[in-house]
């Protein structure tokens, strides 16, 4: 199966904010959609995160994108909407010590995010699809398929509005 994994455009939110599942709009949606339309094969089904920064782009790529909650960004719990600088250092250190397993208070861990993203991919019954989602989702999927150890997951970075194409066995 071939997947076109698209990261949403840059969020319209103040820099330095932990926004995870915070539902903020994106900047330059029309511009990003125009560039992607040239790159993507026509007629592919499009799935999207329910969050607006993804949904707005997906709606420009396909008249009826399919919304799936499993494509939402990691839930950062009590960290959502807070400045990274205001999050207690002890909590950030705990996350750094267990990149995949640590869940912010009231949130989910990257490993939990990975499980729901893999569950989504396993449910697909098409040979090729476009997925409009978040860096965390793309990162944990690619880390799984590349067999990366959790301490290397942060090496995987994706630009806003970028498309990563991957073929995975079914």
Q: Which domain CATH number covers 36?
A: 3.40.50.1240
- 61 is written with which tokens? 């790529």
- Evaluate whether residue 68 is within a structural domain: yes
Q: pTM to 2 decimals?
A: 0.96
What integer pLDDT is reported at residue 170 of this predicted model? 79
% pLDDT > 70, the chain = 100
- Evaluate whether residue 49 is within a structural domain: no
Per-residue pLDDT tens digits for 37-68:
999 999 999 999 999 999 999 999 999 999 99
Residue 107 banded pLDDT, cuts 50, 70, 90: very high
- Evaluate whether residue 51 is within a structural domain: no
Q: What angle do CA 158, 163, 165 make, to 5 degrees?
A: 105
- Evaluate whether residue 83 is within a structural domain: yes
Write out the residue range of the structural domain in which residue 30 sits: 6-44+56-167
- What would the mean pLDDT of 147-169 be, rounded to a whole number? 95
- Evaluate whether residue 123 is within a structural domain: yes
- What would the mean pLDDT of 122-142 be, rounded to a whole number? 98
What integer pLDDT is reported at residue 59 of this predicted model? 98
Instruction: Look at the chain and report how many structural domains it folds into.
Output: 1
Per-residue pLDDT tens digits for 24-38:
999 999 999 999 999
Q: Which of 95, 86, 54 is nearest to 71 (CA)?
A: 54
48, containing H or E segment: strand 46-48
Cβ-based neighbour number of residue 17 at 10 Å: 18
% pLDDT > 90, the chain = 98
Cα 146 to Cα 96: distance, rounded to the nearest angstrom? 21
Calculate the average pLDDT of the chain.
Answer: 97
- Evaluate whether residue 140 is within a structural domain: yes
- Evaluate whether residue 1 is within a structural domain: no
What 3-state DSSP class applies to 148?
A: coil
């Amino acid at each position: 199966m071939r997947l076109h994994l698209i990261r949403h455009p840059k969020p319209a939110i103040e820099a330095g904010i932990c926004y995870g599942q915070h539902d903020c709009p994106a900047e330059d949606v029309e511009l990003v959609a125009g560039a992607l339309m040239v790159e993507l094969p026509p007629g592919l089904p499009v799935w999207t995160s329910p969050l607006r920064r993804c949904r707005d782009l997906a709606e420009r790529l396909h008249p009826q994108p399919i919304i799936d909650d499993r494509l939402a960004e990691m839930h950062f719990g009590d960290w959502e909407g807070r400045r990274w600088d205001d999050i207690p250092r002890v909590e950030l250190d705990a996350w750094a010590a267990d990149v995949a397993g640590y869940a912010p208070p009231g949130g989910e861990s990257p490993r939990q995010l990975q499980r729901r993203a893999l569950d989504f991919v396993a449910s697909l019954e098409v040979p090729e699809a476009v997925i409009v989602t978040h860096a965390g989702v793309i990162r944990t999927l690619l880390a799984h398929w590349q067999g990366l150890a959790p301490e290397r997951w942060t090496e995987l970075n994706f630009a806003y509005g970028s498309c990563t194409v991957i073929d995975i066995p079914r």
